[in-house]
A and B are shown apart, each in its own frame.
Chain A
């Protein structure tokens, strides 16, 4: 087959345009490198392509999901757990639901903007409780980068001086919504501390970007660039250097190596023509998402690297993790017949509960934080669903129960609007040997690229944690005078824990370490086996703290990119 070759040799090829890839492109182009970026999806512009301020009745679908947008037709996530022509497989009995974004900016376009630093304990868990492994770096190594991204990107929050929830450089947090105040009051009676959330949404102008206008629609893409996404914050300065070349609809297949065993380019499919192309580069930075980067490495087989690139240890694909997650909804009679007011706020919660307990008194290690939701949100497809599960319960002061029709039902919808709250737990999973990915020996995608096969199991640690989440959320709802909706799922059903991958925090399949026989990359996220290959997504993570991973992906990508720039200047790579 003829492969189209671009004659130009770039300094760096970055695969992926999300948090890791966007940051790598920004830092490296600003440091003087020519960068070519491969993105598997189309161009996407938060100004031109956002559905900000659309009403549900602007479309006949009222915002419902479509196959290309699993979070609804207005959401800025092009992609999903299934992609046409791009299968993946699960080993018998295992479930991993793999979310893939296909667009410029990747998952940074619709993510929750929950921007939590990992704390000092999070980098040395094995030392503290004997489980999992320590990172080869500490909080002090990463702190300067957290500080830099706080200043560059912007984040709101409050100084709490908690031991494992480090302070940041915060803009003022937005005031809480009404139901959030109610949750705070009830939680504090149960000794669960509630603090302002930490989201990368601007409450003050920053670096030429406007402050938030509180429409609550961050997930649709922000036309005023008031929140963090790679296309709003990272790519414009990289483009402005004149040194960034972005190739969209470019599905990376493998990293190629020269006779010296160094990477010299990337083979990719031009999705518009289905033809094989190749870009040449002196350095390759993988930031395609943890699992996709591992797939590219495993598919980069050569006589010199028969197990795939950077995989002499056999560790590529091992230690796959996701956050634990489940949610419980509660009907709060006190919130019925609410007084109309605009409760949109920012595109996320204004308060949350960081992990607060001592594990020595619990039957599981590590912890989880609690994310809260509710309020008089904009009605969207699905509004009022399941009303037969909760109208007319005792608290509403009516003997009639669960369902109905007619004028009374119509009035029930009004009375119940804004009267439910939601609690979602996001917790730490301990990496285990039963959770890993590999290349499926039989299945290829529509371009003939071998696909991933996942193995994934929660252990009792996570299941016990899920039980604790359920009990805690139900206790808060009851403390609020409310009624949890639905019975607590049984242990056989994992207490309602979501399938692996559903929380979309895939981490750990190209882990970092000091020992080349037990890790893929070193503490600079540089492949032990190939010194000009780096990983800048969630792959190098050694553990999966309960804190959402994006802020650390950004910090490590910046740290790695600065290291690459130094090494280039020193002539080492």
Chain B
């Protein structure tokens, strides 16, 4: 892909997506979830239902730039965020146009700036683009469509990451269990917040 010219690049990113206009039936949704899980377990390639291969590759790069692996937990792709996104696009069809168009916006901006689509940009180019659109208050007004897309893409990435077992463990959420006795706010938190201790 290194010496991709503009024409090949355009062709690649504009390959027609498969129509995915209808939401899942309940049975299909369950099946889709199981398939995604199975693909992860066997490390087989997940075949997206909404995203084209190129879009999906872009999504995989983007989500890991947003939520990378660190000392405490894995990356967004390790948590299955791209599969979650593909599911949600089919599940909530009104999201589709903004997602497709937003990914298209990213590629076209990269073509203008770097003469290549996002996934073949250098890491430095990729972060340069994100730096321009990831802080809405500081972004240039002519980039407003990219900024708006990135904010909602970041939200969906977070939604997909923090609702996995990996994400929930990372957050140290300790509920969703039966509790015999409810003791209210622990003393150490009362102290930390500087609250008057309870009578």
Interchain CB contact under 8 A, B32 and A214: no
Per-residue A-contact encoding for B32-70, CB less than 8 Å = 1, 0 else: 110010000000000000000000000000000111101
Interchain CB contact under 8 A, A60 and B155: no
Contacts of B92 in A (CB 8 A): 64
A407 an interface residue at 8 Å Cβ cutoff? yes
Bound CA–CA A411/B68 (angstroms): 11
Interchain CB contact under 8 A, A216 and B185: no
Interchain CB contact under 8 A, B136 and A378: no
Interchain CB contact under 8 A, B193 and A406: no
Interchain CB contact under 8 A, B158 and A181: no
A57 an interface residue at 8 Å Cβ cutoff? yes
Per-residue B-contact encoding for A360-381, CB less than 8 Å = 1, 0 else: 0000000000000000111111
Interchain CB contact under 8 A, B195 and A406: no
Q: Number of contacting residues on B, CB 8 A?
A: 60
Known: A185-B196, A381-B159, A414-B170. A61 touches B91 (CB 8 A): yes
Bound CA–CA A381/B179 (angstroms): 24
Contacts of A384 in B (CB 8 A): 155, 158-159, 162
Among A61, A64, A180, A400: residue with most chain B CB under 10 A = A61
Interchain CB contact under 8 A, A409 and B67: yes
Among A339-347, A423-431, A525-533, the stretch that binds chain B is A339-347
Interchain CB contact under 8 A, B160 and A174: no
One of A213, A335, A340, A377 near B172 (C-beta < 8 A): A340
One of B32, B65, B70 near A405 (C-beta < 8 A): B65
Bound CA–CA A55/B168 (angstroms): 10
Contacts of B66 in A (CB 8 A): 405-406, 409
Known: A384-B159, A401-B137, A406-B68. A417 touches B179 (CB 8 A): no
Contacts of B67 in A (CB 8 A): 409-410
Contacts of B182 in A (CB 8 A): 174-175, 203, 212, 214, 345-346
Bound CA–CA A67/B135 (angstroms): 33
Closest to B194 in A: A334
Per-residue A-contact encoding for B146-186, CB less than 8 Å = 1, 0 else: 00000100110011101111011011111111111011111
B121 an interface residue at 8 Å Cβ cutoff? no
A461 an interface residue at 8 Å Cβ cutoff? no
B188 an interface residue at 8 Å Cβ cutoff? yes
B130 an interface residue at 8 Å Cβ cutoff? yes
Bound CA–CA A335/B196 (angstroms): 16
Interchain CB contact under 8 A, A383 and B163: yes
One of B33, B158, B186 near A341 (C-beta < 8 A): B186
Among A23-31, A121-129, A293-301, A385-393, the stretch that binds chain B is A385-393
Known: A342-B174, A388-B154, A414-B171. A62 touches B159 (CB 8 A): yes
One of A203, A215, A409 near B177 (C-beta < 8 A): A215
One of A55, A61, A388 near B87 (C-beta < 8 A): A61
A356 an interface residue at 8 Å Cβ cutoff? no
Bound CA–CA A59/B26 (angstroms): 11
Closest to A176 in B: B184
Taking the closest CB of chain A, its distance from the CB of B13, in whole angstroms, is 22
A178 an interface residue at 8 Å Cβ cutoff? yes
Known: A388-B151, A403-B134. A177 touches B176 (CB 8 A): no
One of B70, B178, B188, B190 near A407 (C-beta < 8 A): B70
Question: Which B residues are closer than 8 A to A by beta carbons?
Answer: 23, 29-30, 32-33, 36, 65-68, 70, 72, 83-84, 87-88, 91-92, 130, 134-138, 151, 154-155, 158-160, 162-165, 167-168, 170-180, 182-186, 188-190, 192-193, 195-196, 198
User: Given A400-B135, A401-B135, list of 14 further CB < 8 A pairs?
Assistant: A56-B164, A57-B164, A59-B30, A180-B185, A181-B198, A182-B193, A203-B182, A343-B175, A378-B168, A383-B163, A385-B155, A403-B135, A407-B70, A413-B171
7 contacts between A and B (CB under 8 A): A57-B163, A63-B163, A214-B178, A342-B175, A344-B176, A384-B162, A385-B159
Closest 7 CB pairs of A and B: A175-B184, A60-B33, A384-B158, A344-B175, A340-B172, A213-B178, A56-B163
